[in-house]
Structure 1
Amino acid sequence: MSMIFDFLQYQVLGMRWLNDGVGSLLALFGMDAESRVTLSLQFFIYDVIKILILLSFLVFLISYIQSYFPPERTKRILGRFTGWKAYTLSALLGTVTPFCSCSSIPLFIGFTAAGLPLGVTFSFLISSPLVDLGSLLLLSSIFGFPTAILYVAVGLVLAVIGGSLINRFGREEDIEGFIRSIQIQESAETTMTKRERVEYAKGQVKATVHKVFWYIIIGVGIGAVIHNWIPSSLILAVLGSSNPFSVIIAAVVGIPMYADIFGTLPIAEALWAKGVGLGTILAFMMGVTVLSLPSLIMLRKAVKPRLLALFFGIVTVGIILIGYVFNGIGPFLF
């Protein structure tokens, strides 16, 4: 069984065969396999191709599933439940929606305008960019299935608890007035054929790749520099286990950036190779995907500063706690 999991992790998801092929190709051109330039170029070509393949496959699959959950149906499903069931279901539905936080905010606004409880909509907003099939498979390619499954589980817990806490503080008055005045038109749900669902999924793949392509290029470029040019001693001095503030630093550094999990993956991979703790890496990834500065600016258009600060504070504390927990249990996972 372990051989099967290793094959899935390293050859199917990790595509080690692709890395070996890129290395062999560069060698054919007479490049020194041990030079930093060659290793950086190999990392760059391999990671860009790998991420684009995984991105296309995952977006197609998730978009096909998502075609069964148009906003009208989602709002109807969420409206049937209250309390913890509603928060949990909202977090789970977030796993079949767009990969990045900025794409999730329009759906958050629509759900809020439809009258869904504030905590339910925030559970969705936290979960949507944080946990999905993409995060499960992509993290499995680096850290293995147990770690990826545990990450998805704690991400869902953060979304559920975060939504319930926001609801408990009762800040409904901090939703901007224009959202409450939006008139939601109930439209008849159209049933798509299988061919239409496939075409819809293809369209989502094309649109998503177009939107995130340069973020992937930048992320892989940063990863290549970290992997081959920055000394491990320098990285570990800042983000290593000997620094008790490494998780906080990683989370804060991630906030100004904007990317989805595909853009952060090569950076995480490079940090992991340098010996940075698992929790520190995940805190960075979560800071980027959930609390990026562009998404906070977009969210400010929908909510007032007090509610935005409450959301930011709850999620930041949750991310930091999760980071320290993963740093503590990391040695037992590998």
Structure 2
Amino acid sequence: MLLKLTDVLIYEWIGLDPESRLVGAIHFFIYDSLKIFLLLAVMIFVIGVIRTWLPEDRLKRWMSQGGLWGNMVAAIFGALTPFCSCSSIPIFISLLKAGAPLGVTFSFLITSPIINEYLVILMIGEFGVPITVAYVVTGLIIGVAAGAILGRMKLERYLENDILGSTVETKTAVFTTFVSRVRFGFNEAISVIRQIWIWVLVGVGIGAFIHNYVPQDAIQDLIAKTGVFSVPIATLLGVPMYGSCAAIVPVAVVLFEKGIPLGAALSFMMAMAALSLPEAIMLRRTMKLPLIALFFGITALGIMATGYLLNALSGVLIDNASPTEDPPIVMEIDVRE
């Protein structure tokens, strides 16, 4: 339906040439933008309503218990919060001040930007359900494993002195009626879209340019030259960059379509989401440089391992992501014969 409306708008009402590369880029930009904003508005509203039933106080108490269970709860809690790498830092600090173990708070800090509701919505719309599920599961594993490793290293001495030992009071919203929960979901959808709409348009714009102007052969040749190093190269390229996942998902999709391996494309997206130069600068307020370097290094290694795993599973994931594409092709061949 949405694709047909875009076709009518571009080719019939405006009367643009469908053979033009520029027109193709415009079509891609309009269609993907409308699709993404529609998905965001509906799904963030639904998830926002569901979140009103989550016991946040209990989650924080579970995280404070420490151990692998605490890492798992923190990673899941991070996946349910719609924050980027920099926006997650205030909650990371509040958890530290509330007495949560350092490794547990790192599980939250890693997972929160890698996985959130609007990223999952975008990925389902662009990559399909199987690849999205694999991304979410591996993202949670990275958060739990990296947090557990950092926690066992006893690195509290690298925190700034005023971070530990103090407490903060947090206010939890109380929802007494279904109307109040619906209102929260509606406000959540508006708030998130207001924060990321520019990133969505930028990302779709870059994706439209790559999709219509970057030769597929050039991308494939570049990846062929890097070979097994495509995953670490993609990860290292993503680490210093900063941007919303709303911007990088459309770019990752187009790069994948142009021949970049699935694991490399998702590693780039994970690295850009979880690690960034602005995040490192903000973290310097809370911890010393050796701890920042360890945090970035261990997380980057986890992302690289995930990239290689996703590369190994890409054949199965891609086949399951589009199970209905093959039959129409067979039918078309039969008719021609």
- Indicate the TM-score class for this superposition, using the shorter chain for normalisation: 0.7 to 0.9
Superposition pairs for residues 14-53 of structure 1, below 5 Å? 17-28=1-12, 29-53=14-38
- The answer to whether the Cα contact below 8 Å between 1:247 and 1:280 also exists between their aligned partners in 2 is yes
Matched to 2:152, the amino acid is R
Superposition pairs for residues 136-147 of structure 1, below 5 Å? 136-147=120-131
Partner residue, 1:245: 229
Change (3 A) 1:251 1:125: same
- 2:88 is paired with a residue whose SS is helix
- The answer to whether the Cα contact below 8 Å between 1:99 and 1:261 also exists between their aligned partners in 2 is no
Q: Distance in 2 between matches of 1:188 and 1:37?
A: 50
Match of 1:299 among 283, 300, 311: 283
Question: Do structure 1's residue 60 and structure 2's residue 45 form an aligned pair?
Answer: yes
Question: Do structure 1's residue 126 and structure 2's residue 102 form an aligned pair?
Answer: no
Question: Do structure 1's residue 177 and structure 2's residue 200 form an aligned pair?
Answer: no
Q: Distance in 2 between matches of 1:153 and 1:241?
A: 30
| CA deviation map 1:149-208 (0-9, x unaligned) | 122111111111000000011111222223225432366874443322322332222222
- The answer to whether the Cα contact below 8 Å between 2:123 and 2:132 also exists between their aligned partners in 1 is yes
Matched to 1:61, the amino acid is V
Match of 2:209 among 225, 233, 236: 225
Superposition pairs for residues 70-109 of structure 1, below 5 Å? 72-79=57-64, 81-109=65-93
- 1:102 is paired with a residue whose SS is coil
Match of 1:112 among 93, 96, 108: 96
Partner residue, 1:261: 245
State how many pairs are aligned: 317
Query: Cα distance, 1:307 vs. partner?
Result: 1.1
Question: Do structure 1's residue 309 and structure 2's residue 293 form an aligned pair?
Answer: yes
Matched to 1:53, the amino acid is L
TM-score by length of 2: 0.86
Q: Distance in 1 between matches of 2:196 and 2:116?
A: 17
- 1:101 is paired with a residue whose SS is coil
Query: Cα distance, 1:309 vs. partner?
Result: 0.7
Unaligned runs of 5+ in 1: 1-16
- 1:276 is paired with a residue whose SS is coil
The alignment-based identity, stated in percent, is: 38
Question: Do structure 1's residue 167 and structure 2's residue 167 form an aligned pair?
Answer: no
Q: Distance in 1 between matches of 2:170 and 2:215?
A: 58
Match of 1:272 among 239, 247, 256: 256
- The answer to whether the Cα contact below 8 Å between 2:40 and 2:122 also exists between their aligned partners in 1 is no
Question: Do structure 1's residue 201 and structure 2's residue 185 form an aligned pair?
Answer: yes
Tell which deviates more after alignment, 49-58 or 35-44.
Answer: 49-58
Unaligned runs of 5+ in 2: 320-337
Higher Rg: 2
Q: Distance in 2 between matches of 1:183 and 1:295?
A: 23
Matched to 1:183, the amino acid is T
Change (3 A) 1:112 1:70: farther
Change (3 A) 1:184 1:99: closer
What is the aligned-residue RMSD (CA, Å)?
2.2
Change (3 A) 1:300 1:53: farther
Change (3 A) 1:233 1:259: same
Tell which deviates more after alignment, 232-241 or 311-320.
Answer: 232-241
Change (3 A) 1:57 1:189: closer
Tell which deviates more after alignment, 287-296 or 183-192.
Answer: 183-192
Query: Cα distance, 1:281 vs. partner?
Result: 0.7
- 1:61 is paired with a residue whose SS is helix
